[in-house]
Amino acid sequence: DTPAYKGEATIHTGLFIGGKWVDPIEGGTIDYNWAASFIRLDFAINPPASILAYKTVWGLHYPGAGRGKLLNKLADLIEKNIDEFAALEALDVGKVFAKAKVIDIGGAITCLRYYAGWADKVQGKTIETTENKLAYTRHEPYGVVGQIVPWNFPMGMVSWKIGPALATGNTVVLKPSEITPLTALKLADLINEAGFPPGVVNIVNGYGHTVGQAISEHPQIHKVAFTGSTLTGRKILKASAETNLKVVTLELGGKSPLVVFDDADIDQAVKWASHGIFFNMGQACTAGSRIFLQEGIYDAFLEKFTAIAHDLAAKTGDPFTPGTQHGPQVSQIQFDRIMSYIDSGKSDGAKVHAGGERHGSEGFFVKPTIFTDCHPDMKITKEEIFGPVAAVIKFKTEEEVIDLANNTEYGLACHVFSQNVNRAIRVAHALEAGSAWVNCAQFTDIAVPFGGYKQSGIGRELGEYALDTYTQVKAVHINIG
């Protein structure tokens, strides 16, 4: 087959600091990850980079409309290079090229344009207080913001982070995941081309336990935004608590329930449930990985769901081949992790309905997998697998399924399928999660807040809500007597 993309990408392989490419350490690279040393990280924060940019040209010096213009310009430049970005994402993560183009890169463009629109609309309030006094509020940026992103949606997460941070006047020190840095590096060149003042956006590659940790501890960063695992989120919160109490927003893991009642439209439910667990090869924090089926539709749902899993398995392969629907997992580590979960499901007594094995004999391909007869105590039912593995559980009553679904430390998302509007809304409200999808599953809208309950996170991204998480409120009192 002719590949979907034939081209060459040129990217720099250093650290992008103060608008220039800088060697990771004096004298060259550490390894292919071009990891930043602590000294270089500090260089990204202290003059000549982000602090200076914040104090002299950006922050409260640059008009909101101007910040919006730059964000729009950046979005236009990404759009101009959309194929190259999608190809880099497909190479780095294993994403299907055609999907990466629309979902990952298209989504990032939409996000930057959305926040470009907000850049001149950040407003405070006027408050009448006691006699001869007046107060008003200003939503001021934090200054230098640290941003740490994961590997499952590299460009998507970069856009969710830099969009609202820049729109509200912060400067940014961003660390991509060490295993998927390519699109962030490509973006760096476009940041200069768009015309951002040097130092407003700095991109520092490196490992989590070194550079990520250093960002979390740095005394001149007062806000960190993180997307990744709950384990790492805990470390970042701890580092912040032990240093300068920086404000931390965390978007963490999940084990989201997807509940299908007897009165659901089965075809619709099966279609969305498949998307819910197999999208991005299951590597999504909002994956609907625990599927609760009411006994009346159990068999019919399972038959159709299994057919979709088999169909996807038949369309598994090279992300660049047209027609491919399902690519590999991101890395050997993730592949091994998922396979060990599959083994645990089998040895714990769950029944394999589809998949349950690798696809082919090489690469990191895992067949879309459906386990039934899952018990709430099994590892595959309790822990986040981050792979295309669904754990199916049968239930009888609404009351029972609410308890089962809420029996988790996570609370990122939930899904309810029912044609009974009262029940659908009742259950969506009863489930403990930051996002509830009713008769649909797992998508985000740039205008709608996103974030977790319980151990799935702190704070909200997207929509107008994100503006609040990138600004601090100053109350100004005036004596007018």
* Catalytic residue IDs: 251
CB of 211 to ligand ADP, least distance (A): 7
Q: Which stretch binds ligand ADP (CB under 6 A): 139-147, 185-193, 232-240, 297-305?
A: 232-240
Maximum distance among all Cα pairs of the chain, rounded to whole angstroms: 81
Q: Least distance in Å: CB of 325 to ligand ADP? A: 23
- Check if the beta carbon of residue 421 is closer than 8 Å to that of residue 443: no
Indicate which single residue of 98, 100, 158, 236 sits in contact with ligand ADP (rule: CB under 6 A).
236
For ligand ADP, which is the closer residue by CB, 237 or 425? 237
Q: Does 220 help bind ligand ADP (rule: CB under 6 A)?
A: no
**Residue 4 CB-half CA count within 13 A:** 23
The reply on whether position 94 binds ligand ADP by CB under 6 A is no
- 71 vs 149 by CB, closer to ligand ADP: 149
Q: How far is the CB of 148 from ligand ADP (least distance, A)?
A: 5
Q: Kindly indicate which of the ranges 86-94, 170-178, 358-366, 431-439 contains the residues binding ligand ADP, using the contact rule CB under 6 A.
A: 170-178
Nearer to ligand ADP, 236 or 354 (CB): 236
Instruction: Using CB positions, name the residue nearest to ligand ADP.
Output: 208
Is the CA virtual torsion 408, 411, 412, 416 positive or negative?
A: positive
155 binds ligand ADP (CB under 6 A): no
Minimum CB distance to ligand ADP smaller for 154 or for 319: 154
Tokens 């019919």, residue?
Answer: 300
The reply to whether 228 sits near ligand ADP by the rule CB under 6 A is yes
Calpha distance 366→383 (Å, rounded): 18
All residues at 6 or more sequence positions from 469 whose CB lies less than 8 Å from its CB, including other chains: 164, 225, 247, 249, 459, 460, 461
Stretch that binds ligand ADP, among 19-27, 230-238, 375-383, 458-466 (CB under 6 A): 230-238
Q: Does 175 bind ligand ADP (CB under 6 A)?
A: yes
Stretch that binds ligand ADP, among 12-20, 61-69, 102-110, 173-181 (CB under 6 A): 173-181
- Which residue type, as a one-letter code, is found at position 88? L
**Choice from 143, 150, 198, 387 touching ligand ADP (CB under 6 A):** 150
Answer yes or no whether residue 235 interacts with ligand ADP by CB under 6 A.
yes
Find the shortest distance in angstroms from Cβ 280 to ligand ADP.
Answer: 13
Nearer to ligand ADP, 13 or 210 (CB): 210
- The residues near 431 (Cβ < 8 Å, ≥ 6 apart) are 257, 259, 402, 405, 406, 414, 416
Q: For residues 11 and 440, which CB has a smaller minimum distance to ligand ADP in the complex?
A: 11
Binding mask 177-216 for ligand ADP (x = CB under 6 A): xx----------------------------xxx--xx--x
- Min separation Cβ 241 and ligand ADP, Å: 13
Is the Cβ of residue 324 or residue 329 nearer to ligand ADP in the bound state? 329
C-beta of 253: minimal distance to ligand ADP in Å? 8
3-state secondary structure 139-178: EEECCEEEEECCCCCHHHHHHHHHHHHHHCCCEEEEECCC
C-beta of 127 vs 333, nearer to ligand ADP: 333
Least separation in angstroms between residue 374's CB and ligand ADP is 23
Binds ligand ADP (CB under 6 A): choice among 232, 456, 469, 471: 232
- Pattern of binders to ligand ADP over 108-147, x per CB under 6 A? ----------------------------------------
What is the C-alpha separation between 427 and 385, in angstroms, rounded?
25
User: Which residue type, as a one-letter code, is found at position 167?
Assistant: A
Q: Does 24 bind ligand ADP (CB under 6 A)?
A: no
State the minimum distance, in angstroms, from the CB of residue 213 to ligand ADP. 4
Positions that interact with ligand ADP (CB under 6 A): 148-150, 175, 177-178, 207-209, 212-213, 216, 228-229, 232, 235-236
